[in-house]
Amino acid sequence: MRRFMYGMYPNAEQWRINLSFISLVLLGSVGYFATDKFKKYLTLYYVVIYPLIAFLFIFFFISGGPVFFDFSYGIIAAILSIIIGFFIPGRFKFYYFLIVPLALYIILKYFLFFEEYIELGKLEGLNWVETGAWGGLSLTFIISFFCLIFCFPIGMAFALGRRSGFPLIRYISVGFIEFWRGVPLITVLFMSAVMFPMFLPEDFFIDKLVRAIIAISLFEAAYVAEVIRGGLQALPRGQYEAAKSLGMGYWKMHIFVILPQALKLVIPGIANTFLALVKDTPLIFVVGLLEIVGMLNLAKTNPEWLGFAMEGYVFAAIIFWIICYAMSKYSYNLEQKYKTDR
């Protein structure tokens, strides 16, 4: 039973996973208790701060080692740049988002925190557990959670890119979307496992769990992009024209007028994509990570389990069914909540 929940994670350390999940759930439910005064910061919180906390919890706390620092610098840089981005005048924003994150990343990596980050792993006083040992249902949750967070903004960016007025940007977005939609996830994971390391410098190492998460995120992002594009196309032209006539720029128009309406329209489609994502997580067996279905296959070879394969599969099926059914009901609720009569 423990193996199903935690995989090969050492028994004595399992409280770390539990603690992480409990705190993540607590932090995630902040939105329900927030007062109106703080409501307007909620989006910022969920889009920026919450993923960061989750990232810290899961990758630092659960793995307890200085494995992902390079990656985390990238994330910190991106987040800082978004925060600063709120104070930058609109017409420079595009250039800004391309240059500043890179600059910040370089500064962070080479000038600041250089010493501290090596200390962090030790300061926690935790043993390092490599990601290969993660597994079971908790891994299912971790992967779904991160891919869900990452694929949404990427998908949104490509959906906007596909509708962009600049032909080159449009072609690149179309190429990206059609490429990922045309290949099966399993080959994408193959690519992340055998092909991707070839594309990186020798000394640069990305953990296989992170690679898998990146691969799944990019893959699902293409689907999310198509769904969001549907929403963007469904909006009447009048909305765009009205926003423009109010003197809004591209970003303002999309953030305050177009996207809120478009996203509302595509809640069912997004929910479907996310469901597909959760159901795709078992595929990570390709890169050698074993979540609950993979653990089952392993358990089946155990003599104690002989003849109980059927029960095991039914058990896993019920768990997935509960997760997916709950998600689809929740999306239906969201749909009803944000439904506006038009």
Query: Interface residues with another protein (CB under 8 A)?
Result: 94-95, 98, 166-169, 172, 179, 181-187, 190-191, 194-195, 197-202, 275, 278-283, 285-286, 293, 296-297, 300, 309-310, 313-314, 316-317, 320-321, 324-325, 328
Inter-residue long-range contacts of 86-94, CB under 8 Å, 24+ positions, other chains counted = 90/249, 90/251, 90/252, 91/249, 93/251
Alpha-carbon gap, residue 102 to 73, rounded angstroms: 10
Report the nearest approach of another protein to the CB of residue 61 (Å).
28
DSSP-derived 3-state class of residue 129: coil
Pick 66 or 269: Cβ nearer another protein: 269
Report the nearest approach of another protein to the CB of residue 144 (Å).
11
CB neighbour list of residue 179: distance below 8 Å, 6 or more residues apart: 222
Containing H/E element for 197? none
DSSP-derived 3-state class of residue 276: helix
Task: Report yes or no: 227 and 269 within 8 Å, Cβ to Cβ.
Answer: yes
Pick 21 or 285: Cβ nearer another protein: 285
Pick 111 or 199: Cβ nearer another protein: 199
Taking only Cα atoms into account, the Rg of the chain, rounded to an integer number of angstroms, comes to 21
Report the nearest approach of another protein to the CB of residue 249 (Å).
12
Pick 129 or 316: Cβ nearer another protein: 316
The candidate with the shortest Cα–Cα distance to 51, out of 140, 147, 124, is 147
Report the nearest approach of another protein to the CB of residue 307 (Å).
10
Report the nearest approach of another protein to the CB of residue 303 (Å).
16
Helices (H) and strands (E) in the chain, counts: 19, 2
How many other CB atoms are there within 10 angstroms of residue 227's CB atom?
A: 21
Pick 129 or 290: Cβ nearer another protein: 290
Report the nearest approach of another protein to the CB of residue 78 (Å).
15
Pick 94 or 256: Cβ nearer another protein: 94
